[in-house]
Amino acid sequence: MNLLSPMVYAALLAGTVTIALTPPIRRLAFRYGVIKVPRARDVHTEPTASWGGIAIVIGFFAAFVALRLYGNLPSLIATDPRPHLKPLWGIPSHPILGILLGGGIVSVIGALDDQRDLSPKLQALGLLFAGLVAALFGARIEGTTNPVPNLIPGSYLSLGWFSVPLTMFWVFLATKTFDFLDGLDGLAAGVGGIAAATMGLMAAFSRTPEPTVALLAAATFGASVGFLRYNYNPASIFMGTVGSYFLGFMLAMLAVVGAFKVPVAAAVFLPLIVLGVPVFDALYVIGRRAAQGKKITEADKSHIHHRLTERGLSVTKAVWAIYGLTFVTCLIALLLVWWGRKP
């Protein structure tokens, strides 16, 4: 099946809708006071509208609905083709429905945080709940290709019941890393777009293609790039927590239903390679704060984008430096998948 054409359509539709909706959402943000006022650690100097992520979310769902109605996406209530994945608590396995529901949950949490500044604990519970919902519907890390067959027998490692808490933790980690990353104009949207495109190509060109994953990744890519029309430096609107949470969640889920199951020995490491820059930046920041006796939720200027600008790089140059690092890690992941296609 040639997936490139429908992937391009998905990306164009999601991007077009996102571009069209961003200006009215910007006006809506100003109307309801969802505005980022400059702080000491911020690089913007003027009050800037947030909630831009709402346009990303709607752009993604618009592309999904169009593909569902006129494309080749499977039914939401279709039987999951993975017979080894047993239903949990009587809930049938509907992975795509789980992803959509979870995406909606994190979007609502993010939008409320942008407006009302929710506590870190409440946000964490919401993200874990979204991961739980997705996992119960079948979008979970049920296992991966065995990376060490010489040490552990078998070609596939099944996680059993442990798949649910592991998926919840993975969702929380990936989602929060993107929230951490959203500190410069265009940074999170650009990195999210590169990562989504990589996930889509991996799903489309692996030995066992995943059409649905490829198309959802393309829609995520299109919405991210479309938002750059207004978010690239100097940004007229920020994606806010609603955008960073949604992108982080979608990339986490695309990895769960796609990259973790790519039939290559490095499948267990592929998502960490693709999301290497935001994940390792978040781990570094958390470790540094803990070592200094600070709360890990306490904001500071230790993120990679802060360090680059403090070294004299402009916002645009710092963003492109991180784009470049992300492109390199994603290229490595794609090469691993390409080599894994060989018999």
Query: Is 38 strand, coil or helix?
Result: coil
Distances (CA, A) of 57 to 18, 19, 69, 180, 212: 8, 12, 18, 19, 18
Please provide the size of the chain in residues: 343
Distances (CA, A) of 321 to 14, 44, 102, 314: 26, 19, 32, 10
* pLDDT of res. 81: 46
Residue 76 pLDDT exceeds 50? no
More confident residue, 284 or 224: 224
237, 49 in Cβ contact below 8 A?
Answer: yes
Nearest C-alpha neighbor of 81 from the set 68, 94, 70, 97? 94
* pLDDT of res. 143: 67
Residue 74 pLDDT exceeds 60? no
CA angle 91, 99, 97 (to 5 degrees): 50
Q: Residue 284 has what DSSP assignment?
A: H
Q: What are phi and psi of 134, to 5 degrees?
A: -60, -45
Cα separation, 188 vs 180, whole angstroms: 9
* pLDDT of res. 59: 97
Distances (CA, A) of 97 to 13, 75, 106, 167, 307: 21, 9, 14, 16, 40
Q: Which helix (H) or strand (E) holds 15?
A: helix 4-31
112: exposed, middle or buried (Cβ count in 10 Å: 0-12, 13-18, 19+) = middle
Compute how many other C-beta atoms are within 10 angstroms of the C-beta atom of residue 138. 24
211, 142 in Cβ contact below 8 A?
Answer: no
Residue 302 pLDDT exceeds 50? yes
Token pair for 323: 């784009």
Cα separation, 161 vs 280, whole angstroms: 27
* Domain residue extents for the chain: 4-340
Residue 180 pLDDT exceeds 70? yes
Please compute the mean of the pLDDT values over residues 70-94 and round it to a whole number. Answer: 55
Structure pTM? Answer: 0.86
Cα separation, 21 vs 242, whole angstroms: 15
Dihedral angle sign, alpha carbons of residues 143, 147, 150, 152: negative
Percent of the chain exceeding pLDDT 70 equals 80
147, 270 in Cβ contact below 8 A?
Answer: no
Mean per-residue pLDDT over the chain, rounded: 82
* pLDDT of res. 323: 94
